[in-house]
Structure 1
Amino acid sequence: MKKLKTAMEKLQKSFLLAKRQISDDFEEGGESMGVPEDVKEGHFAVVAIEDDQIKRFVVPLSCLTHPSFMRLLERAAEEYGFHQEGALIVPCRPSELERIVAEHWIKGC
């Protein structure tokens, strides 16, 4: 459980740093890559990768508290570390992530 808490804290810090960097870029009037148009406020991009299956998702931040998604974050931290750039990559089949997101919406978390 302590590993999960540490993983969540690091993930939250990385989100805050990314948000701050994007804000700074826009305030300075400089050009930045920005956030893709399909990633609305309160959402983030996730890429599910397993074997030859790859699919990108845009999911609400509230999914971060879903127990199954938290386990995926733990697996991602073990497999890829905390130095990912861009979309969050999780080691699972796209169908597994679809199930987690659907379950999240059904429960209204």
Structure 2
Amino acid sequence: MAESRRGLMMFRPFFKKLRKGFSSSAYSASPALNHSKFNEDMSVGKAVPGDVKEGFFTVFTVKGKETLRFVIELHHLTNTEFLSLMDQAREEYGFQQKGALSLPCRPHELQEILQHSKGSNNACTESWGYV
């Protein structure tokens, strides 16, 4: 538990960015977990997309030519495997990037972590299809 708390404190700048984004947008209903192909035309850092409702955040998996967008529930931020990915992202990209967080992994690797977290937390995750 202490390790998770320490990991969460390390990502305080990311959490502030999430909070700021949530406070300036309207929310719409969407599946608990959703991902889609990356849209390069989307204006980065200006507004939270409509499919990101309160209690969720967006990440991109970026490895080689594979880039996929995920909308993830906040409770995954307590998962040690997910925190490890965020630590790798901090080391590789820092927190200077705008918009969604990029994770240095393949989409299926993140899916496995989220599914494992779903099983252990009894979380509601659905809709793995492309949007």
Q: Which has the larger radius of gyration?
A: 1
Aligned to 1:81: 94
Aligned to 1:17: 20
Root-mean-square deviation (Å): 2.1
Report sequence identity in percent: 37
| Stretches of 4+ aligned residues off by more than 6 angstroms | none
CA contact (8 A) 2:58 2:69 kept: yes
Aligned to 2:63: 50
Whether 1:63 aligns to 2:66 is: no
Higher helix residue share: 1
Aligned to 1:37: 50
Quote the offset at 1:6 in angstroms: 5.0
The CA deviation string for residues 4-48 of structure 1, in whole angstroms up to 9 with x for no partner, is: 45532222222233344x26xxxxxxxxx4321111210011100
Quote the offset at 1:95 in angstroms: 0.6
The CA deviation string for residues 36-87 of structure 1, in whole angstroms up to 9 with x for no partner, is: 1111210011100101111111100111110011001101011111012111
TM-score, normalised by the number of residues in structure 2:
0.66
Find the aligned partners of 1:62 and 1:102 in 2 and give their Cα distance.
Answer: 13
Whether 1:107 aligns to 2:120 is: yes
Kindly tell me: are residues 18 and 35 of structure 1, through their superposed partners in 2, closer, same or farther at Cα, counting changes over 3 Å? closer
Kindly tell me: are residues 87 and 5 of structure 1, through their superposed partners in 2, closer, same or farther at Cα, counting changes over 3 Å? closer
TM-score, normalised by the number of residues in structure 1:
0.78
Give structure 2 stretches of 5+ with no counterpart. Answer: 26-45, 124-131
Give structure 1 stretches of 5+ with no counterpart. Answer: 24-32
Letter in 2 for 1:15: L
Instruction: Give the 3-state SS of the residue equivalent to 1:44 in structure 2.
Output: strand
Letter in 2 for 1:11: F
Say how many residue pairs are matched: 99
CA contact (8 A) 2:21 2:48 kept: no
